[in-house]
Chain A
Amino acid sequence: MRSPESDVSLSLEDVSVEFHIYNSVGRSLKKQLVRASTGGRISADSGHVVVQALKSLNLSLRHGDRLGLVGHNGAGKTTLLRVMAGVYEPTSGAVTAHGRVTPLFDVGLGIDPEATGYENIYLRGALLGMRRREIDAVKDEIADFTELGDYLDVPVRTYSSGMTLRLAFAVSTCMSPDILLMDEFLAVGDAHFIHRAEERLNRMVSRAGIMVLASHSRELIERLCNRAIWMEAGQIRAEGPTDDVLRSYAAAN
């Protein structure tokens, strides 16, 4: 179910996200009941803090956009990616995605360390919404791309983190995602693999895709992205061509 080129888009309108953070008091039903029955006067601690993680964000991505996200830890990059993935539904505002969205946040997603490489291809594939026969059809191609050979028959717990990354990346990109979201994903790959991964990403984006990449590696963003956003305290501090944004980000730090 691939959408026609021109249809691939991702838009955020006036998106805000509030986190309700509960400590052990807010997490405990017993303590909450005691609080309610005492009118909240004995314990001043409601166990509950509200943090504004994203503030009225507007963003519109079209096919061919390769967006880099930069910013300090806690600036809202990961939250923004999760909103784009449809994982966090914003407190207010609208998110619309046209096309198959594939998040690549954590290499470990759906990976069962006790299962073999091949079994994990099926697990991760199913999480990405593939049916069994769809996976059957692309299994060999995935195996080729990982270059893991016979390792695919042994449990993943014996893999190095770089090998797990190859497996995860190969499965996630085998169905040509329309919108690919990555959070520091390529960090543990070796030079050879990163080179091949970049080739694949470029091919994918040239075929009417959108890519969003959050990274602390300036070099990686320069190489892969044609647009960038500098996030600060849940808002967009600067937006524009990669070079400009990276230059002002570097100047401010």
Chain B
Amino acid sequence: MFALKGSQGRRALADLWHALRYPDLWVLLGWQDIRQRYRRSMLGPFWLTISTGVMVIALGFVYASIFRQPIDEYLPYLAAGLVIWSFIAGTVTEGCQTFIASEGIIKQIRVPLFTHVMRVVWRNFIILCHNAVIIVAVVAIFLPANALATLALAIPALVLLILTMGWITLLVGMFSARFRDIPQIVTNILQLMFFLTPIIWHPSLLPGRNRVVLLNPLYHMVEIVRAPLLGKMPGAATWIAVGVMGAIGWILAALLFRQFRRRIAYWV
């Protein structure tokens, strides 16, 4: 039952609303993606946990000695940073394929297009949950000072981060469907940003004015969840940066979605 009339804004909103009101579909598709990736493997998605764990331990010991940092401070910092970064980078990279990869569905059956965005974000959230085991283990072992006091703050921070990933996924998904070189551009930028963002190194290691990291939006996206896990409060600048990015990003993504929603089926 559908009627293709009404303003584009109204139709775009209806698309969003219907996708959120019928989570059965993207929840199932997201799980299916995970299952498909790890079918016929005994440990399933816990392979992710293992490979992240190995990476954290290996990098942890090497870089702690290179940077001359105490291991009990450095390892939790690295573990939290890496896991949050993989969530961000994974969602953005796969976000490029949001609509391209769902071509088969988009061209055959009318389901809200935002369903595909939710599927990508949900799938990466499941992966994040598997990787979070590492953070829990490392934090429990080294128990950073004040961690128990600030831990709860990580939840609203994560909600904010997920909301941010929502508009980014929608945006890169639409752009990539129209311009097929966007996924390569995005992958390259992310690779570069991994090294420019304080994940394996601490901002305090920068000589002189280390406030330059505050200009990096990805720093705030990582820091807002990482700090509370390590017993610190994210700075006011971080809350404001993530909040403002979310608001502006959603407005921008919504406007573009209103404009181009109906062209997506023709692009993919």
* Contact surface of A with B, Cβ cutoff 8 Å: 3, 19-20, 27-30, 32, 82, 85-90, 94-101, 103, 105-106, 108-110, 112, 114-115, 119, 122-123, 126-129, 131-132
Decide yes or no: A95 and B108 within 8 Å by CB, A114-B36, A126-B24, A129-B22 being known contacts: no
Stretch with Cβ within 8 A of A (4 or more), from B27-35, B194-202, B212-220? B27-35
- The yes or no answer to B71 lying at the interface (CB within 8 A) is no
Can you list 22 A-B contacts with CB-CB less than 8 angstroms, sorted by A residue number? A3-B1, A27-B178, A28-B179, A28-B180, A28-B181, A86-B2, A87-B107, A87-B108, A87-B109, A95-B3, A95-B4, A97-B2, A100-B1, A101-B110, A103-B109, A106-B104, A110-B105, A112-B32, A115-B36, A126-B28, A127-B109, A129-B25
- The one of A32, A88, A114, A126 that contacts B25, using a Cβ cutoff of 8 Å: A126
CB atoms of A96 and B181 under 8 A apart: no
* A88–B268 alpha-carbon span in the complex (Å): 12
In the bound complex, how far is the Cα of B62 from the Cα of A173, in angstroms?
Answer: 60
Residue pair B181, A88 in contact (C-beta under 8 Å): no
B contact residues around A95 at 8 Å (CB):
2-4
B5 at interface (Cβ–Cβ under 8 A)? yes
Residues of B within 8 A of A112 (CB): 32, 36
Q: How far is the CA of A112 from the CA of B29 in the complex (A)?
A: 10
Residues of B within 8 A of A128 (CB): 109
Contact with A along B92-127 (1 / 0, CB 8 A): 000000000000111111110000000000000000
B interface with A by C-beta (< 8 Å): 1-5, 22, 24-25, 28-29, 32, 35-36, 39-40, 104-111, 175, 178-182, 185, 262-263, 265-266
Contact B181 A30 (CB under 8 A): yes
Q: Which 7 residue pairs spanning A and B have beta carbons closest together? A: A86-B110, A29-B179, A89-B262, A95-B4, A96-B3, A27-B180, A86-B2
* A30 nearest in chain B by CB position: B181
CB distance from A185 to the nearest CB of B (A): 11
Q: How far is the CA of A132 from the CA of B31 in the complex (A)?
A: 14
Q: How far is the CB of B171 from chain A (nearest CB, A)?
A: 14
Q: Which residues of chain A are near B111, meaning CB under 8 Å? A: 127, 129
Contact B106 A127 (CB under 8 A): no
A-chain residues with CB within 8 Å of residue B4 when the two chains form the complex: 86, 89-90, 94-96
On whether the beta carbons of A97 and B179 are closer than 8 Å, the reply is: no
The docked-state distance in angstroms from the alpha carbon of A145 to that of B25 is 24
Contacting pair A109 B28 (CB below 8 A): no
Cross-chain contact A114 with B39 (CB below 8 angstroms): yes
Which of B1, B29, B179, B185 has its CB near the most chain A CB atoms (within 10 A)?
A: B1
Partner of A19, one of B35, B40, B266: B266
Residues of A within 8 A of B178 (CB): 27
- B32:A123 contact, CB within 8 angstroms: yes
* CB-CB under 8 A for A88 and B3, given A109-B104, A115-B35: no
Whether the Cβ atoms of B109 and A109 lie closer than 8 Å is yes
Contact residues in B for A101 (Cβ distance below 8 Å): 1-2, 110
B110 → A minimal CB distance (Å)? 4
Closest chain B CB from A44 CB (angstroms): 20
Contact of A97 among B3, B39, B181 (CB under 8 A): B3
The distance in angstroms between the C-alpha atoms of A103 and B109, with both chains bound, is 6
Chain A residues, CB < 8 A from B25 = 126-127, 129
With A103-B108, A112-B36, A122-B28 in contact, do A29 and B182 touch (Cβ < 8 Å)?
Answer: yes
B32 to chain A: which residues have CB within 8 Å?
112, 115, 119, 123
A212 CB to nearest chain B CB (Å): 14
Chain B residue with minimal CB distance to A183?
B108
Distance A144 CA – B3 CA, assembled complex (angstroms): 35
